[in-house]
Amino acid sequence: MPVRKPKTKILLDGGDPEETQRVRDLLGFLDGQTTNPTYVAKNPSIQRQLKTGHKLSWNEQNEVYKHIVEAISPLVGEAGVSIEVFADFTTKAEQMLAQGKEMYSWIPNAYIKYPCIPEGMKAARMSVQDGMRVNMTLCFSQEQAAAVYAATKGAREPVYVSRQSSEPGPLAGFVRVAGRTRHRPREAPGTMVGRGVPAARPKVSLSGCGRKRQSIAADRI
């Protein structure tokens, strides 16, 4: 029997290709996946290495992340794989951009995740100018959402905007307004990626805030 897919795009939060395969088999489809260094660190193979006392070097972390993303890439649909740069408040935009460019080359369906901090906004703007797809994470306020819109205006494809709350909020209004202009030439405003909404009530949450994409953890399915 053909799988009846919801209008909302479903993305998995995680960093384990085997988990991705299990969820895809369970649902019958998977539109995309969001990853970050924390999820990757929880990968069972990485955990086994860490338990031996081995600490991964920067190059090893990068290679492991690349290997995992490459394995996930063919398992998901058009929403792609979001790959988060290694960054904190001291990381400069140019450093994030350099990581982003490398990560973007790993797979054909990559979205590069930048944090919603000033340097992350700068990196996103430069990425969009280079034609890269981006996902802005840790977006908690209307002000941040407006800053994302300004930084990524002119993107050739919709920009993902991730937030931590599972409840509808002011940011959802921004996304709905932006969504009405997404087909204007040289404009592709933000698309909400909700996080951690229990699978038992996706219709309630999604209809409440107009999300077009929903990311969930495997343990919520």
- Listed in sequence order, the residues at least 6 apart from 137 whose beta carbon sits closer than 8 Å to its beta carbon are 36, 84, 113, 114, 115, 116, 162
Identified catalytic residue from 51, 113, 153, 203: 113
Q: Name the helix (H) or strand (E) containing 162.
A: strand 159-162
Tokens of 119: 């340097």
3-state secondary structure of 136: strand
Q: Which two tokens stand for residue 32?
A: 């995309």
E strand or H helix at 216: strand 213-217
Cβ atoms of 110 and 157 closer than 8 Å: no
Active site residue 7: no
User: Which residues belong to the active site?
Assistant: 113
